[in-house]
Amino acid sequence: MLPFDPANPYPLVAADSHTYTEAQKHSAEVDHWLGLHTEEIESSLIETIPATERKALWIGLPVRSLLTPYTEIRTILELLKPATGDSVIDLGAGYGRMGFVIGEHYPETSFTGFERVVERVTEANRCLKLKNISIATMIEADLSSASQVLPPAAYYFIYDYSIPDAIQKTLDDLKRIAQKQKITVVGRGRSARDIIEQQNPWLSQIVRPEHTAHFSIYRSQT
């Protein structure tokens, strides 16, 4: 069991202490507590976004499949241990769940979430403001655009946010940043991790990655 406790909304728990379904249910309760109207917004997007664009934007999926559970985000951050002054960037951030966890447990770390769907960005920023989380912000951005330039950061999180070509474009952008500084990339989902492992040896084959069932941690060469 994984009960929701408003005094500890993002608990650090062992992966084998609960099922993934329980983590998803717990996350839905956290979303409700935060005031995030994820279900309503995702339902409305099906009506407003053309069918030809939905796949690349992950529109039509249940929220539980679209978003990373809060408990998993807490585990990832515990492994990364971002320091004071570090920046964490979520590429394809959905509703900015990572920003809420960082605001609670790593308030000296900044968070920026890039998301293409403006309705998700607006809702996330609304709730971040409600919770007075000033170190986190969401930005509307098309990461596949040639004009989109990523800022430098210590940590980047990539879920399967779009089609493979878009993910590879993002990794090309990260490679340029890694030529100037060391970065850590968390890959989550089959597509993102496959692309990193098979097409980006600069990230996957020089420094040994850390693999778990749902995500992998990759570090560029120092």
Average pLDDT over residues 109-124: 97
Write the single-letter amino acid at 184.
Answer: T
pTM score, whole prediction: 0.95
What local confidence, expressed as pLDDT, does residue 161 receive?
Answer: 85
CATH number at residue 213: 3.40.50.150
Checking if the pLDDT of 222 tops 80, the result is no
In-domain check, residue 12:
no
Domain that holds residue 204: 64-219
What local confidence, expressed as pLDDT, does residue 201 receive?
Answer: 97
What local confidence, expressed as pLDDT, does residue 162 receive?
Answer: 81
What local confidence, expressed as pLDDT, does residue 105 receive?
Answer: 97
In-domain check, residue 22:
no
Q: 56 pLDDT band (50/70/90 cuts)? A: confident
What local confidence, expressed as pLDDT, does residue 115 receive?
Answer: 96
- What CA–CA distances, in Å, run from 1 to 11, 16, 22, 207? 13, 11, 7, 36
What local confidence, expressed as pLDDT, does residue 176 receive?
Answer: 96
What local confidence, expressed as pLDDT, does residue 199 receive?
Answer: 96
**CA-atom Rg of the chain in angstroms:** 17
What is the chain's mean pLDDT, rounded? 95
Neighbours of 40 (CB within 10 A): 11
In-domain check, residue 120:
yes
Checking if the pLDDT of 51 tops 90, the result is no
- Reported as a single tens digit per residue, the pLDDT across 119-163 is 999 999 999 999 999 999 999 999 999 999 999 999 999 998 888
> What's the number of domains the chain is made of?
1
The packing angle between helices 70-80 and 20-34, to 10°, is: 100
In-domain check, residue 94:
yes
In-domain check, residue 97:
yes
In-domain check, residue 134:
yes
pLDDT > 90 fraction of the chain, expressed in percent and rounded = 86
In-domain check, residue 40:
no
Lowest model confidence (mean pLDDT) among 41-45, 53-57, 135-139: 53-57
Checking if the pLDDT of 41 tops 80, the result is yes
In-domain check, residue 10:
no
Lowest model confidence (mean pLDDT) among 44-58, 59-73, 176-190: 44-58
Query: Beta strand pairing status for 155-158 and 87-91?
Result: parallel
Average pLDDT over residues 181-199: 96
Query: Beta strand pairing status for 184-188 and 215-219?
Result: antiparallel
